[in-house]
Structure formats: structure tokens, C-alpha cells
Amino acid sequence: MRGRAAALSLMAGAALGQQGAVIRTETRVVVVDAVVTGRNGAWIHDLTAKDFQVFQDKKEQKITSFTFEPPAAAAQPHSLVLFFDEATMEAADQLQARLAASSFIGTERRPNLRMAVVSFDGTLRVRQNFTTDATKLKEALPVQQPRATTRISGSAAEASSRNVLMSLRGLCESLGVLPGRKVVVAFAGSWPDSSLTQSGLREATEACNRSSVAVYPVDARPVSRQSDALPRAFDPLSTGIRSINGPLQGDAGDSGGADSASGSQQLLIELADGTGGFVVRNSNDLPRGLHEIAAEQDQYYTLTYTPPEAKEGSCHALRVKVDRGGAIVRARNTYCVAKPQDLLAGTSTATNLEKRAAQTQPGNMAASMQLPYFYTAANVARVRVAMEIATGAIKFENRKGKLHAEINLLGIASAADGGVRARFSDTLTFDFDNEAQIAAWKAAPLHYEKEFRIAPGDYVFTMAFGQELRGDASFGKLDTTLTIGPWAAGDLGMSGVVLSREVRPAADLGLSRLTGDETPLVVGATQVVPSGSARFTKSEPGYFYFDVYASDSSPVSLSVRAVDSRNGKVAWKRELDDLAIPRDPAATAIPILAKLPLDSLAPGSWRLNIEARDTKGKAVERSVDFEIRDGNHQADSERPGRR
């Protein structure tokens, strides 16, 4: 496979959707991961949808999609963050945590698992972004710094613990846009059980659930400083405690120094229970507990349901039940309705943009736009809006000693009945010191990207954008159709096609709030930057990117053809036979990156047709139009209303 791919300049690497679901910025489909074990701790693999019940606020919900995610079926790589609480962990415990993490990194060989290292010592630090490079991960582990060993207590300990939980909240929020299974392994110190800490715990749990992140706290303290007085009502199997090579409750040993251990471990249990993880207690084999966490990521069921309408920002109780004797279910216990990323909602600016969107006039601000899409979860697709906005009409004004400009944007996806199925709004701000800086900035189009989720279906997508200045207004409008077909688990599928002018190293991708809110498009060590323009010159680089989805290791063949739009003749074609899908789960969705054959085609209008076919006779096609011309591609954004 690698040889064939190289011959075609193709690069292969690793990423589902209920008709008519109303989705705003966040999907109106709730996805719940559930791990089911027997009383002996062994995973149960043979359950069906009929065995599950999902309750929201004690009311049963209809399960609309059900899958089991064994290693050969996971559609996305799993993302695992090693989080070190250096603010409350004692020095000796930090050393144990580092040694355990190093051993885990060195021996964990799951091909679908990528890891990152993050720590909090008063500041949240991303020490290593997501990678599969064990050497980089080990080198990024926090090194113990000399410091006083005095144990903090009282209000100082409460404040420190809340700060840790707030950093965990921010971390989980940043992971929200990443696809696939997301896990935080939190090496925790001693957290006092107080109203302040409980408040932080609730906020962290809600953030993790909004982002579908499971947290697995690790109590690195030796058993002599852990609680031997857990409440009797707690069954260790049902409350998410795993003690490796040691008793599950009532560990023997000196309980000295465990003055707040019971409360601290209670908080860890609540964090694990609330997000669907379990607690690992240090019984002299922490690496084994970490490997159990990693192994569990290939052993979960995915349930989806459409929730009742609820107030944005509200949180609701979740409960998953299994109709089998002795079965124990772990899943997150809350669902929060995400607040929309509709930044301009309720403002006069939004009202004006809505009026512009309803008009037929294209306005005086020119732009072009592309809308590739990808499948991310059952009955949900994410659409990547890529725009190139001509900068000539953008006006600046003096504000607080700076030359300032703002551009407001409103995107609306409408169904045939006129109903809004997705919506977002945004504001871009720019500040410069002088006219020379503005002139340099205006030398190229303004590149803009945004991502939203929507159910498969047929839509009209409208983007309205503009400026509001004193006594003056500039605006632009783009309209295009957006058709997203359904994709069922077990079927061959393909994403939309991305056109690109730029690829770059993907070394620093992973934690989304540090790199943007859009899911990065990555093939191996290369990141693809989607272009908002479909016009290329023969002298510039050009690429196309798409994902192929499959459920097993059956070979898939690809056919790519460049067709002259004027006469329908094929001027360029490439075949990729037997694209064998590796048996590791990270490759169930294979990203493909290739060069556009700009040097082989004459100037004019072209259509790129891509067909994927498997050995079962199933075929799927995608196409994208592009144009080859002479001159600077900024001209592509000089006609208002151009897609």
C-alpha cells in the first residue's frame, strides 16, 4: 500500500449521521459512551441496543443509534492526556506518578492511542501536544522541582484544589472539538472536601461532559496515606475504584497522615463517576492501572439519542441501565446543553446580518467559500467553512490610538422547509499602528475558517458578513447548496473534498483552544489548511484531501479523474487499487492527501471526480469543481456573491 500511495503522491493516515435533527452550533444529538463489566471486572461485549436504557432526568429516551467500539471498529484515534496536579501532590507522590507514567508510555503499544502531557503548578502547561512518539512524551514529563515540603491546609488548600479543578475544566473545554474517544488521566494530590472544592468539581465535571471527556483520577499516594474509611454504602465496583494488587477497601496499614484522605478520595470518586471513568489507587503497581485505562478505550458502547428541547446552558441527569443480571455500567451522569457559539445573538448587528442574508443582492464585499464536510459521530457531520474575503473594501477607523476594523459574520444552514438547522455568528477584529501595515495586510485575501455540526440532509447555506461604521456600511453575501448523505456503520463512506494551497507540519496540533476551534485536518505528520477559493494558478501549489470510511479491513480501491467541464473529457486519471485498511482502529477512517495535477491541465474549468469501491461492490463518489487560471488568485475574491 505504501508503495502505491507514493507512486500517486497520495498520503494515507486516520477520523456518522438522523435525518432532520435540529442542530445549532452544537449537535442536538447526545452521545453517551458506556463501559459494561461483570461483577468480576471482565468487559461484556455481546450486548445489543435492546439491552440498554437511557434516562434523562428520570425519563427514558429513545436510543437512535447504537454501536460497540472494539479495536477493529473505532472511527477515530483515541486521545489520552496525562494531567499532573503539581499544585497539591507532594514531592514523593510526584516522583511515583512520573515513574508510573514513564513506564506506561514506554510499554503502551496500542496503535490507535495518541497521548499528550499537561501539568498544573499554578499555570496550565501543555508540555507535549498529542503524539505517538514515546521519546517525546517521556521527555515532556514534569521534572520534580525543589520546594518546601510543608503541607498546606485550610483555606489555602481549598483554593489550591479549586484552581486545579478549574485548570481541568479548561483542559476539557479545549478537548471538545477533537473527534474520537477523549480521556484525561489525572494524577491528583490531596483535595479537601469543602464547598469551594465541590463547586470547582461541579464546574469541571460539567465541562468534561460537554466535551465528552472521561476522567480517570489516579491517587498516587501510598496506601498508608489513603483513606481506609470509605463509606460503607460505596461498592468499589459500582463506584469506580480500581485498586491494583491490593484490597479494594480497608487497606491495612498506618492511617497516619490520612486526615483528609477520605474526603479527597470521595472527590476523586465523584469526578470519575460523573464523567464515566474510574479511580486508580496506588497499591504498588500504578503502571498496571494505567494500562487498564488504555485497554478500556477499546471496550465501550456508544449510544445516541435526541434530547428534549431545553434551555441553553442547562444540565440534566443521565442514567444508563443494562438489562442483564450482574452487569455494571459506567457512563457519564450528566448532559449539559451547550451554549451556542452565536456571539452576536440578540444584537442589532445580528438583526442587520439576518436582513442581509434574506436579500438577493450580493453586496459590495467580495469573497469565495468552500464547504467540505466530515462524519464525526452517529448521525452527525461537521462542516468546515473556509472563506477567502477580499480586503479591498475593508475600512479602518481610529480607535484608542489604533487603526481598527471589525468584520461581523453570520452563517445559516436552512432546510427545504425554511427551518434553520445550524447557525453561528462571529466577529473578527484587526488593529494596526499605521497605513503601511494595513497596506501590507491587504496584499492577500483574508482567510477565515469556522466549523459547525449538522445532521445529514439537503440544505442551503448562507453566509452574510460586513462592517458597520458611522454612517456607512459594507456587506457581502454568499449562498450555496450543502448536501450531506447519510453514512451507516458498516458501510463504505467518503467525506467531502477539501481543496488546499497550503500544507504544514502538524507537530503542535491537539489541544484545540491553543490552535483554534476547528478540528485539524492531519495526514501523518502533515496538516492540511483548507482553501476558501477553488481557483488556482499553474505556478502555485494545489492539493486535495478527503477521508475514506470503512468498517473492516476489506481492501478499497480509489479512482481519481480530472474532467474538463467544457466537454466532459477525462484529461487526467489515477488509480489506487487495494487500499488495504490496516487492522488497527486508528485507520478505520483513512485521510487521503494528494497534489492537484495543475501542471498537467490547461487553464479552464475542471471537475475532480473521486470514486471509492470495496470488494463487496459498494461504491461511493464525491466531486469538487476547480479552475486553473493565470494571475493572482486574489482575483477570485473580487466579485461579490461568488461562491
DSSP code string of 83-110: EEETTTS-HHHHHHHHHHHHHHHHH---
137 C-beta neighbours (distance < 10 Å), count? 24
Instruction: Look at phi and psi of residue 637 and say left if phi exceeds 0, alpha if psi is from -120 to 50, else beta.
Output: alpha
Chain Cα centroid distance, residue 355? 33
pTM: 0.56
For 262, the grid coordinates are 477520605
What average pLDDT does the segment 142-169 reach?
70
pLDDT digits (tens, 9 = 90+) for 561-603: 999 999 999 999 998 765 554 434 444 578 899 999 999 999 9
258-274: burial string, b at 16+ Cβ within 10 Å, e else? bebbbebbbbbbbbbbb
Residues 379-428: pLDDT tens digits?
678 899 999 999 998 999 998 889 999 999 999 999 988 888 888 888 89
User: How, if at all, do strands 182-188 and 78-85 pair?
Assistant: parallel
**Contact indicator for 83, 47 with CB cutoff of 8 Å:** no
For residue 137, the SS3 value is helix
Average pLDDT over residues 168-179: 77
β-pair type (446-454, 380-389): antiparallel
H or E stretch covering 267: helix 261-275
Question: Which contiguous run of DSSP H or E holds residue 391?
Answer: none
Taking the C-alpha atoms of residue 522 and residue 505, their distance in angstroms, rounded to an integer, is 9
Q: What are phi and psi of 32, to 5 degrees?
A: -125, 120
Q: Mean pLDDT over residues 66-88, rounded?
A: 74
Between CA 626 and CA 641 the distance in angstroms is: 17
Cα angle: 106, vertex 112, 118; to 5 degrees: 60
Contacts of 107 (CB under 8 A, 6+ apart): 287, 291
**Cβ pair 256, 227 in contact under 8 A:** no
36 and 301 Cβ atoms separated by less than 8 Å: yes
**Average pLDDT, stretch 39-45?**
86
Burial (CB count <10 Å: 0-12, 13-18, 19+), residue 539: exposed
Query: Which one of 31-35, 435-439, 577-581 scores highest in mean pLDDT?
Result: 435-439
Mean pLDDT lowest for which of 76-90, 364-378, 539-553, 576-590? 576-590
State the average pLDDT for the chain.
78
Amino acid at 125: R
- Cα separation, 507 vs 530, in Å, equals 18
More confident residue, 67 or 516: 67
pLDDT for res 172: 84
Half-sphere exposure of 244 (CA within 13 A, CB side): 21
The answer, yes or no, to whether residue 370 has pLDDT greater than 60, is yes
Listed range (37-41, 79-83, 255-259, 544-548) with the worst mean pLDDT: 255-259
Q: What pLDDT, on a 0 to 100 scale, did the predictor assign at position 512?
A: 43
Residues 6 or more apart whose Cβ sits within 8 Å of residue 460: 413, 414, 479, 480, 481, 482
DSSP state of 143: P
Q: Rounded CA gap, 609 and 572, in Å? A: 11
Task: Let me know if 455 is exposed, middle or buried by CB neighbors in 10 A (0-12, 13-18, 19+).
Answer: buried
Q: What share of the chain has pLDDT > 70, as a percent?
A: 76
- Count other Cβ atoms within 10 Å, centred on residue 596: 22
Q: Alpha-carbon Rg of the chain, whole angstroms? A: 26
DSSP string, 334-401: EEE-PPP-BTTTTSHHHHHHHHHHHSS--BS--EEEE--EEEEETTEEEEEEEEEE-STT---EEETT
Query: H/E/C letters for each residue in 471-516?
Result: CEEEEEEEEEEEEECCCCCCCCEECCCEEEEEEEECCCCCCHHHHC
Q: For residue 536, what are the CA distances in angstroms to 302, 359, 563, 566?
A: 42, 30, 16, 17
φ, ψ dihedrals at 454, nearest 5°: -160, 155
What values do phi and psi take at 156, rounded to 5? Answer: -65, -40
Contact by Cβ (8 Å): 523, 43 = no
State the DSSP H helix or E strand holding residue 157, giving kind and residue range, or none if neither. Answer: helix 154-174
Percent of the chain with pLDDT over 90: 33
How far apart are the C-alpha atoms of 453 and 376, rounded to whole Å?
9
Residue 335: what are its φ and ψ, rounded to 5°?
-130, 130
Tens of pLDDT along 495-542? 999 999 999 876 444 454 433 456 778 787 788 999 999 999 998 999
First to last CA, the chain: 37
* Cα(216)–Cα(269) distance, integer angstroms: 9
Residue 152: strand pairing partners? none
With beta carbons less than 8 A apart as the criterion, state whether 243 and 206 touch: no
CB atoms within 10 A of CB 538: 14
Phi, psi of 199 (to 5 degrees): -60, -45
pLDDT digits (tens, 9 = 90+) for 603-637: 999 999 999 988 888 899 999 999 999 865 444 45
Whole-angstrom distance, CA of residue 268 vs CA of residue 320: 21
Buried b (16+ CB within 10 A) or exposed e, 37-71: beeeeeebeebeeebbebebeeeebebbbbbbbeb
Letter for the amino acid at 425?
S
DSSP summary character for residue 363: B
Higher pLDDT, 185 or 587: 185
> 28 pLDDT band (50/70/90 cuts)?
low
